[in-house]
């Protein structure tokens, strides 16, 4: 173990949806109390779900809570289905970035204009684009890959990208890589492969990337493997060693999310 603190200790102790996910999927060491913990967290999440199926009438909040239920292992829960149906009903609404995108609400722009790992989103247009892709990621994780509306959204992304390596900017493109990365049939999509190749060319010797925030790029990489991706991961290690917190985690904000993307990367390259 190259790190001063074994990150497995932090992950083993987390009583959060991502803690449950990490023990089940990364550490393969389900804790004795995880079943009861997962049920308690599930009840807390569902208690905040509104009658229309959303959380806080917000696209990003609803996607986030659907993710949390999936992390806990409740993919087939009725609450996941209700949240997914609310997201699908947002497709093509007036606030959508483009036709076939899932539309955010004013609640998103008021309080949730951040990406999964906590970095701010710089404009309303970027927020509309990126929140829609987060929603796509949640739907794919929840088992909606074959849904006709999900397929329409993917086709719209294909049309927007064309033959390009990125769409709009590096930050926006990461949200697409993150969505495609959760589904095995989309990880090899041309959009994903071109985006990962572009990201490799942006990486500096320090491990950072030009024009893409550090953890935002890590999140994208964490779903993929292959030689080009793993070269980027190995280049990250010195910075990850320097920036690890004393408790074995990473990040000053959104600590669970930042630590889990690092843990997935370390698992890919055999360092966890």
Q: What is the DSSP string of 225-237?
A: -SHHHHHHHHHHH
Question: Has residue 1 been placed in a domain?
Answer: no
Average pLDDT estimate for 115-121: 94
For residue 120, the cross-strand partners are 114
Give the other-Cβ count within 10 Å of 98's Cβ.
Answer: 14
Question: Has residue 88 been placed in a domain?
Answer: yes
Q: Which domain holds residue 190?
A: 7-268
102 pLDDT more than 70: yes
- Domains held by the chain: number: 1
pLDDT in tens, 233-247: 999 999 999 999 999
Question: Has residue 47 been placed in a domain?
Answer: yes
Average pLDDT estimate for 161-181: 94
The least confident of 31-45, 99-113, 145-159, 190-204 is: 99-113
0.85 exceeded by pTM: yes
| CATH value at residue 198 | 1.50.10.20
Residue given tokens 């967290």 in the structure block: 41
Question: Has residue 70 been placed in a domain?
Answer: yes
pLDDT in tens, 192-236: 999 999 999 999 999 999 999 999 999 999 999 999 999 999 999
Question: Has residue 124 been placed in a domain?
Answer: yes
Question: Has residue 233 been placed in a domain?
Answer: yes
Question: Has residue 160 been placed in a domain?
Answer: yes
Average pLDDT estimate for 186-196: 96
Average pLDDT estimate for 131-154: 98
Question: Has residue 2 been placed in a domain?
Answer: no
């Amino acid at each position: 173990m190259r790190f001063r603190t074994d990150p497995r200790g932090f992950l083993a102790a987390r009583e959060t949806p991502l803690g449950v996910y990490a023990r089940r999927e990364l550490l393969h060491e389900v804790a004795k109390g995880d079943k009861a913990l997962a049920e308690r967290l599930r009840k807390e999440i569902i208690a905040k779900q509104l009658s229309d199926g959303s959380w806080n009438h917000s696209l990003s909040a609803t996607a986030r809570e659907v993710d949390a239920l999936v992390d806990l292992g409740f993919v087939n829960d009725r609450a996941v289905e209700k949240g997914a149906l609310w997201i699908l009903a947002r497709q093509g609404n007036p606030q959508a970035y483009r036709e076939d995108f899932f539309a955010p609400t004013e609640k998103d722009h008021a309080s949730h204009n951040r990406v999964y790992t906590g970095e701010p989103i710089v404009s309303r247009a970027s927020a509309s684009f990126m929140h829609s892709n987060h929603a796509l990621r949640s739907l794919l994780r929840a088992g909606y890959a074959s849904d006709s509306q999900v397929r329409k959204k993917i086709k719209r992304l294909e049309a927007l990208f064309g033959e390009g390596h990125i769409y709009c900017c590096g930050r926006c493109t990461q949200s697409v890589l993150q969505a495609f990365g959760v589904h095995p049939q989309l990880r090899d999509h041309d959009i994903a492969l071109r985006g990962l190749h572009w990201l490799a060319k942006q990486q500096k010797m320090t491990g950072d990337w030009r024009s893409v925030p550090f953890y935002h790029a890590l999140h994208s990489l964490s779903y993929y493997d292959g030689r080009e991706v793993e070269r980027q991961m190995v280049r990250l290690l010195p910075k990850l060693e320097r920036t690890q917190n004393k408790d074995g985690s990473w990040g000053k904000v959104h600590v669970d999310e930042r630590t889990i993307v690092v843990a997935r990367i370390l698992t890919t390259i055999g360092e966890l």
